[in-house]
Structure 1
Amino acid sequence: MSDAEETLGGARPDPSTDASKDPEQWVTGDEPMTGPQRSYLDTLAREAGEELSADLTKAEASEHIDRLQQQTGRGTDSSGS
């Protein structure tokens, strides 16, 4: 038997590193996209004139959201940078 006991949780993650985690590395990334993701992705896709599958995972939806935000200019700061 190992000296290390299995645990859940732990130290609070550093938000500056957690937020930039690749969606493919998310623990829940393969779950269906959330309602808010679906709604926002629908808005972005319409603005971009794209059709996307309605059965995306959380990770796939996040990647499409990031891409479409860049394409449509939504979700970017207003400083012009």
Structure 2
Amino acid sequence: MTDQDPRKETDDWKTGEEPATGPQLSYLETLAREAGEEVPEGLSKAEASRLIDEFQRRSPRTD
């Protein structure tokens, strides 16, 4: 991330410890399936975001 990047680190999110949202989980399931991974249960918003980033890097759809 650069100084001009408006995204906050997930550790700095005020709502990061809240449960992952439905859209996050849905997208995460799609990416996990493509990556041959499973989505752990009980993810927070921040954890889901980090996994989305990780799975996106390995997904053929984002090449």
Count of equivalent residues: 60
Q: Deviations over 1:35-66 (max 9, x none)?
A: 00000000000100101212100000000000
Deviation at 1:75, TM superposition (A): 4.6
Query: Which structure: greater helix fraction?
Result: 2
One-letter amino acid of the counterpart of residue 46, structure 2: A
Q: 2:44 aligned with 1:57, yes or no?
A: yes
Mapped contact 2:34–2:60 kept (Cα < 8 A)? no
Deviation at 1:26, TM superposition (A): 0.2
One-letter amino acid of the counterpart of residue 6, structure 2: D
Deviation at 1:74, TM superposition (A): 3.6
Q: Percent identity?
A: 53
Over the aligned positions, Cα root-mean-square deviation in angstroms equals 1.5
Q: Which has the higher contact order (CA 8 A, sep 6+)?
A: 2
Task: State the match for 1:18 in structure 2.
Answer: 6
Q: List structure 1 segments (4+ residues) > 3 angstroms apart after TM superposition.
A: 73-76
Q: Which runs of 5+ in 2 are unaligned?
A: none
Q: Which runs of 5+ in 1 are unaligned?
A: 1-15, 77-81
Q: TM-score, normalised by structure 1?
A: 0.66
